Amino acid sequence: KSMTAGDRLMKKISDFYGGLGYPVVWQGEGSKRKLEIQFKSESGYFVTATLSSRGEDVVVKDEWGRENVFKATKSNLEQIKGWSEER
């Protein structure tokens, strides 16, 4: 099955964070796949962001179940990559 824009964005995010040595885990199969990335917060403990693809969008859920929806655009990719610096 062809990858959606959301799938491609998740792949780029996975490659980026995996390349930086972040714990990156794919869960599930096919369109139900989720990507989990562990970030260290400034208070020193780890938080997990769970990303899933919804068509052209990527949905990012934090530990507390809050959702942010990102359109699969270059600027959003840069924003998500930026989390590596601000956490």
E strand residue ranges, 1-87? 24-27, 34-40, 46-54, 57-61, 67-71
* pTM for this entry: 0.87
pLDDT of residue 86: 59
Q: What is the pLDDT of residues 25-76, one digit of tens each?
A: 999 987 788 999 998 877 888 889 999 999 899 999 998 999 999 999 999 9
* Cα(31)–Cα(55) distance, integer angstroms: 9
Q: Which residues contact 9 (CB under 8 A, 6 or more apart)?
A: 53, 58, 70, 72, 76, 77
